[in-house]
Structures are given as C-alpha cells and as structure tokens.
Amino acid sequence: TVAAAALQQRGLQCRIVEKQQFPRFVIGESLLPRCMEHFEEVGLLDTLKAQNYQVKTGARFIRDGKICWFDFSEKYSKGWNWTWQVPRAHFDKVLADAVEERGVPISYNTAVTNVEMFGTDSITTVVLPDGSEEKISAKFIIDASGYGRVLPRLFNLDKPSNMPPRKAVFGHFEDKNRPEGPDGEKITFVITRRDIWTWIIPFSNGISSVGFVGNPDFFKQYEQEDTDAYLRAMMMDIPVIKNRFENMPFALDAKKMEAYAVSATQLYGPGYVITGNSSEFIDPVFSSGVTFATESGLLGAKLVARALDGEEINWQKEYVDHMVQGVETFRTYVNSWYDGALQDIFFYTHADANQDIKRKICSVLAGYVWDETNPFVTEKRDRALDSISKLIKVLD
C-alpha cells in the first residue's frame, strides 16, 4: 500500500492484486520509528493517527528479573522518537482502504497464477473470486506479496536463508490484568534462555499479542495437537506472563510458524522489483519486518516512477545495495542476540549507564540502519559488538 500510494502521488496508474480478503491476520504487530517517515511521505500518517493505536516509545527487555529499557527519544540518529503497536488485520485494512479511496483499485481474493515478461512489459494471469481468469498488462510489477512470494516462486528465485531454523508460537489474548500506566503499554521481551524469548505486545483495544520464538528444540517439551493449549502451557512456565494472562480468553487462536527465514537470489529484473518479505525475512526479534516492507516499497516505487519516465536506473546500487545494508545490519544484531552477546551488552549498558553505546544501539532498534554515521551500523558493526562483548566478559 505504501508503494501504491507513492505511485499514485506521482500520477501513475496502478492496481493491487491481493490473494486474501482483508481484514486478515498477519504477523508483525510492532512498528519501528523509521517507518513513520514513510507513512508521512506518502500522505498516510494522518489516517493512521486517527486510529488511536497504542503508541510505542521504546522497547523493554527482561532477563532474570532485571529490566533494560531503550527509549527512542534517546537514540543517536535523528528521526522519529515513537511509532505504534498495531493489530495488523485492522492496520493493513486501514491502509488498503486509504489507497483505494485515492483511486487505486484493489482486487481481493484474486490469485496470481502466471507472469509473462516481455522485456519490461508483462502480462499477469490471475484467477478472480468467481473462478474466471483475467490477464493484466503492466509496464512494471512491484511484488509486495510477503510470505506468498509470488515472483520468487514463479521465477525460481527462492534460495535458502543462511539463518538457523527457528520456530514461533503466538496468539492474542484479552488483557484485563494489564498494569496501569506506561508499564502496561510497553512492548516487552522476556528472555527465557539465551536462544528463547517471548514477546508481549499490548494494543490500545485491550488485547495483547503474546508469542514465543527461538530454537525449535525448546518447543518439543510442550508440543501437543491443540495449538491453543500448546501456547498456554508455555505461558504458564513464565511467571510474568502467567500472572498477567492466566485464564485470559483467546482473542485470536494460537498459530505456529517454523523455519520462517526466507531469501531470494535477486531482487529486481526487467520490469519487476521484489520488496518486503517477498525478498527477505530474518527474524521477528527486533520488529524489522514492516520497516523493511515500507522502506523497500517506497524506494522501489520511486525508482519505478523514474524508470517509467525514461531514466536509466542502476537497480543494484540504488535499490539492492541500499536494502542489503539494512538487512545485513539487522542480521548482525539478530545473530548476536541469539548467541547471547547482544543480550549481555543490553543489560551491561543499562546497568553501567554507558549512554553513548546505548544511544547508538537504540538507533538500530528504532530502524535507523541506514545512518552510516553510526559505527554500530557500518561494516565495522560486527567488530564493535564483539569488542564490547569481550570487554564485558573481562569486567564481569
């Protein structure tokens, strides 16, 4: 929808083809401040503000009873200091309705079955809700199909992710025991063990999302056919979660995801560009999914507009290299999180009040992974994290 809004702003005709019917559930309920710039640029920010979603001003991490809080207003990079926690079914429908009201047609319950490329032109075959076929001609295709991965699937562009396989089990609950004030509004990450963590994401409608993520071996001890009971069994072993959600009814049945990391061999070609989760998805731990989707969608749309205007676009430099910079930065942090080094840095910087390190890491957590004035974003980021981790071990 961000890409469609950007194209519509530039006077280009576009059409959205969507396999599902909105509203529909999708994971990725915690946004990052970076994506607020995207919503503002394409004129969708006021529409979203009117929804009164839960404001997110940072992220709280809990390990062994200790709390580490990252406040986005104290980050190193310039930019937005807040964002939202959103029920994605509602959020995505609001955005879709907004671009549709601007004149962008959306075909729901419409599946893509084939794409033929003729240079930069294309014909896309879709199956409509009544079962009939339609062929859509286009000068350019932006694939924002997420886990559907339409073009990677049709063009054999899928490739195995280099991330270890992990698993997630999650659901929505009524949150009647939510703490009063800011503590009840904060997104919380509870570290169960180094390779297992749990999220609590409160929404403004009184519902909260709860999920477990990590090494698949951890889940075997709880696994059972009833996924709701499966999730509840895990929740009852975490005191901070049990005290808040015991006996709370489900607002959305529990769901499972396994080996969710994905990648693609290439992100563009004559007449198409691949964006968001269609191109790459790493891990939900730092809530990067929506930010990558809006960053890539907006950038891709701008480049498409220039290409259709006759300009020669260096897609590798202007699109791929830019997106890879952000993906690889987050990949570094995700890997460091699961090996425990980043967790140690989080709690050390909090306890020891090393504000310079904390501010620069906070910028990454806020989604400012393209600010190369930040040494924790550049190619030396691995070395920076490794050096701090080793120093902590010496000091401890």
pLDDT tens column, 254-271: 999 987 667 788 999 999
Type of residue found at 188: T
CB 8 within 8 A of CB 99: yes
Residue listed under structure tokens 């240079």: 119
Residue 390 has a pLDDT of 76
3-state secondary structure of 147: helix
Q: Which of 140-144, 216-220, 248-252, 355-359 is predicted with the least confidence, judged by mean pLDDT?
A: 355-359
Which residue would you say has higher pLDDT here, 381 or 369?
A: 369
The dihedral built from the CA positions of residue 48, 7, 21 and 250, taken in this order, carries a sign that is negative
Give 163's pLDDT tier (boundaries 50, 70, 90). Answer: confident
**Mean pLDDT computed over 367-372:** 96
CB 180 within 8 A of CB 30: no
Element (H, E) at 107: strand 106-107
Q: Give the pLDDT confidence of 193-222 residue by residue, as tens digits.
A: 999 999 999 999 999 999 999 999 999 999
**Mean pLDDT computed over 309-313:** 96
**Mean pLDDT computed over 362-385:** 91
CB neighbour class for 135 (10 Å; exposed up to 12, middle 13-18, buried from 19): exposed
Write out the two tokens for 305.
């507009």
Residue 283 has a pLDDT of 84
Which DSSP symbol is given to 46? H
Closest CA to 95 of 18, 10, 175: 18
Cis ω on the peptide bond leading into residue 202 (within 30° of 0)? no
Residue 159 has a pLDDT of 84
